[in-house]
Structure 1
Amino acid sequence: MTQTPADQQSAPSPDQLREQIEHTRHDLGLTVQALADKTDIKARARQRAGELKEQAVLKAVELKAQAAKATSQVQDKLPDSVNDKAAQAAGQVRATTARAGQMWEEKAPEPLRQKTARSAQLARDHRTVLLAAAAGITAIWLVSRRKKD
């Protein structure tokens, strides 16, 4: 079978074929990368955990602002005598806490004090995570209460 002039005109040139091959390779590379990304479960889990952490932190900030606003509103409505009594009670609580801390230092065994100190330091080091978790649990609890009502 011989080629007609029309067949020769419709046949792609070598440069066009190279360009098509490069385009196909590029598309195939993108597809393979997308499939590899989908199968990397650890990376996807880390990404999702990061997103959830960010959401929890934002929610914690929002809840903290709401709590501060509610506290301010309640304090504005309380009479001065109640505020004075609350301040006295807070002072008594601080004093009692200080005495309890002194007793703890005097009477608790050293290994227990060391373990407690390590736990407290861990809590301080991971304060954001703990606050985010508490905010998340609080949000879930509030939502479940609303659904029941």
Structure 2
Amino acid sequence: MTQPPHDEPTAQSPEELREQIEHTRHELGDTVQALAAKTDVKARAQEKAAEMKEQAAVKAGELKEQAALKAEQVKAKAAEAASRVQDKLPDPVRERAVQAAGQARATTAQGLHKARGNRQLLVAAAAAGTLVWLIRRKKR
């Protein structure tokens, strides 16, 4: 055995030998750390879970953008279809539809105004209804 078993040349001085030993120690330490990391199943599983979570978040963002884009496309197509239907409606029918929509809005506004004006009455009626429900429920 005249040749050492590694690729590095033999040290010429004690200082070179110390440096080679220190270098070998660092390499060995790095190798041991790498092996320990590979055998740490819990840490690897956590890393994989974090990676999968990040990928899922990215995919969810992409899907959300795609859904928003599709929603806009559908909305535009619906508006276009409604416009075509309106264009095909005879004028008397269109006028009646506009009047009916206006009357529905007016009726809704009146009901809302009356409800706001009679809040105490509405609250009392709701309380009475709740009491009747509780009494009937208790009797069963």
- TM-score norm. by structure 1 comes to 0.47
Instruction: Tell which structure's C-alpha radius of gyration is larger.
Output: 2
The structure showing larger relative contact order (alpha-carbon pairs under 8 Å, at least 6 residues apart) is 1
- TM-score norm. by structure 2 comes to 0.49
